[in-house]
Structure 1
Amino acid sequence: EGSALVALFQPAAERESVSQLAARRVTAFSLALLPRITRAQPMDVLSSQATVAGYKAVLLAAVATGRFFPMLVTAAGTLTPARVLVLGAGVAGLQAIATARRLGAVVSAFDVRAAVKEQVESLGAKFLEMQIGEQAEAAGGYAKQLSEETHRRELAFLAQQVKDADIVITTAAIPGKRAPILITADAVGGMKPGSVIVDLAVETGGNCELAVAGTDVNRNGVLILGPVNLPSTLPYHASQMYARNISSFLLHVTRDGKLVVDFDDEIMRETCVTYAGEVRKS
């Protein structure tokens, strides 16, 4: 009671726990609420763990697929490279693009935020453009939920794109909301047998309609992976980055080893969930 807690959780999904923390007068901070500002980057747990997830997703796909990633010229003839499609070009998506490119795949990517086109192309991938016709970027640079009509057009557009892909990595997320469906069951039905989907958003509902958290699903020869907690599968570097994030945050909110609460500071104001027996974020 009366202690401080720094953790990674979504207050909206943990209302009962948040109420209990407030009742015990715990000063609780959630690093999931960090503002997207330069000063907060060393503390950004979501980005550091997304880096791990994006990298590992490609490795899982490479193991699951029945083909090579790079083009190979052999005595038996030339083998064409794998075609990888990455949906969502945030931290996880960009790392997936970079990793797939390192393995020699031909990579394309899609994101509703046109601003990420330059980042995608700088990694050697093709950016797939669709006319959105509305503001698709929210505060902090995150993608925002699209209108129903635009989302219908997005689904039709992506259904055509996944037909040609050998591997699809999905990473799209909307903070505080269910992950958007990007690949419908019908779209999966149009994919080639032997194709692989790795849904990194499965823990928040999934980008693929058929994805199941913690389970591999085979639908008409298309393998859909729903991996959970991928950072735990690379514990050395995931823990190293997490420790640095936590250390940076603690150095920011303490002076001489004591917590200093200052709600004029944007980082503290946005991350503090409970204080002095009250719930500040829910």
Structure 2
Amino acid sequence: MQSANSIETGSAAGSSSLDIVLLRTFLQVVDAGGFALAGDQLALTPSAVSGHIRRLEEGVGAKLLARTTRRLDLTQAGETLYMYARNIVDLEREARAKLHGDAVHGRLRVGASEDFAGTWLPQVLQTFRRWHPDATIELKVGITADLLRQQARGKLDVVFGKQCTRIGDGTSDEGALLWAEPLVWAYSQAAGLELDAPVPLAVFPDPCVYRESALAALAAQARPWRIAFESGSMAGCVAAALAGFAVTPLARSQLRDGLRELDAADGLPELPDVQFYAFVRKVAPAVTALVKAVCELGTKNRFAGAASR
């Protein structure tokens, strides 16, 4: 009898089937960027994770991952399966929520830095709405420190924000780390940067962890700089970088067509990692579901961005 946790491939290669447990492991390996990290998140040993991937590859009759000592890449077959696996796992989760009556109701008050609101949150909300159509979300976009102060006053249920270091910002909240990635210098692919001139910067007004990290790194290298563009909008800073008007610090996964990453060859210092957090005021099913969706999408996009470069 066919297992309830499997889906027939209908192909000659797999008289076997796509086991959803194996698909979950595959997605976690790709999203985490490695077997050990995936094992930690799934509470499995690395050898068990490797066994799951081997069984999945045998079932589909194709190599899914190209592994070296330093990196992990998807093969063409792996990229195809990843898209289908993501949809299969999402649909399975949605079906379980419907069948078990796990859908949530009521209003969820969300605070998000513009990184989240402009990059990841739209896709997350689309998925969340499908899972919980009766829930209402009230969104407040702002600077992480300001959002945390509003949360402390009981005005927000969950805050998605970022930090480059644990700096004193007047708050004592400890968030749950979702993922970390490098902060990079972003500039137009079509423009060159003068090595002897002060670095023109496009930054947010104070307080901003990207701004603070960029200025601290330049000061440590004694590299002259000037504020060429200041905006409270991430879109504005990115537009300035795309136009070759100024250099802006961005999380690496937020690089897009028309932007390139500057490095030591351009006379710029290395920037610290940026950490993305979920700050939860009160644990509730809706909050837990939203945080999990953000984490999954963020790690998936981070891996995809790294693999494309």
TM-score norm. by structure 1 comes to: 0.28
Q: Which has the higher contact order (CA 8 A, sep 6+)?
A: 1
Q: Which has the higher strand share?
A: 2
Tell which structure's C-alpha radius of gyration is larger.
2
